[in-house]
Amino acid sequence: MNPRLLILPFAALLWCGCTSEPNETSGPLPLQTYRVVNAYPHDPLAYCQGLIYHEGQLVESTGQYGQSSVRQVDLVTGTVITKRALDPRLFGEGITLHDGELFQLTWKAGVAHVLDPETLKMKRQVKYQGDGWGITSNGSQLITSNGTDTLTFRDPDTFKEIRTIQIHDGDVVFDFINELEWIDGEIWANVWKREYIVRINPKNGQLNGWVDMRGLYDSNDNPHPDSVLNGIAWDKETNRIFVTGKLWPTLFEVEVLDVVEPSAK
């Protein structure tokens, strides 16, 4: 039997694109929601592929052939401070900071750029097999996604594979894992074209929970089919979480909240 068919009620809602509201889940995974703390301007032409918070600013990777870049962005105003355009033959993907170096993936080229986070100048390149989607760091290793149900842990110096984990909840596996962020010992991930964030146990790939981000941005404001939730950044010092999307005009600081179930009567 295909394990993808063994979907829990809430997971089925997530992957089938149903429009009804997820209330209670019969599974053990906690469902969380959010509160908007602040809203900031975001370049509406930025096809956000990766987002990090670094020394009071945002660093963003953008995609699309001929438009891909890595940029330092003022959090409050959304102003692009410094920008480095990629070769037009490259499609920019996820970005992360590790041990004083900035890593930016590309989609199909099989190459990651290693940059100086202050100047965005190229330091070196590393190669890998397959697609590049999202990337984050746990402090000792890099973790990458490729749009499947698998995350790969890599050596930061060589980019060679150390181990992999499959994203799952019991027998149910989940793919289209996209942009990644390491938050307080967990891997948080966007799911391609879904208004949810999944929280992943880095030891074994088991889902620790879901964050329901529906209603954050009205997709009717931008009819582009790729104008979807993508981009998670964590300010470790103040525990602030920032999220945005591809081609969104706004970046949001959010507080993640536990869902309070109605009292039994």
pLDDT at 143 over 70: yes
Percent of the chain scoring above 90 in pLDDT: 80
Other beta carbons within 10 angstroms of residue 168's beta carbon come to 17
Model pLDDT, residue 28: 66
Please say whether the beta carbons of 42 and 231 come within 8 A: no
Q: Name the β-bridge partners of 137.
A: 142
Tell me the average pLDDT across 91-97. 96
| Token code pair at residue 200 | 């992943």
Q: pTM of the predicted model, to two decimals? A: 0.87
Question: With 60 as the cut, is the pLDDT of residue 10 above it?
Answer: no
Q: Summarize pLDDT for 175-233 with one digit per residue, the tens.
A: 999 999 999 999 999 999 999 999 999 999 999 999 999 999 987 777 788 889 999 99
The answer to whether residue 6 scores a pLDDT higher than 80 is: no
Which residue, chain included where needed, has tokens 């920008």?
A: 83
Question: Mind listing the pLDDT tens digit for each residue in 45-73?
Answer: 999 999 999 989 999 999 999 999 999 99
CA 60 to each of CA 64, 72, 181, 185: distance values in angstroms, whole numbers, following the listed order: 14, 7, 13, 22
Contact assessment for residue 191 and residue 184, using Cβ atoms and an 8 Å cutoff: no
CA dist list (Å): 251 to 41, 60, 217 = 6, 12, 10
Q: What is the pLDDT of residue 216?
A: 94
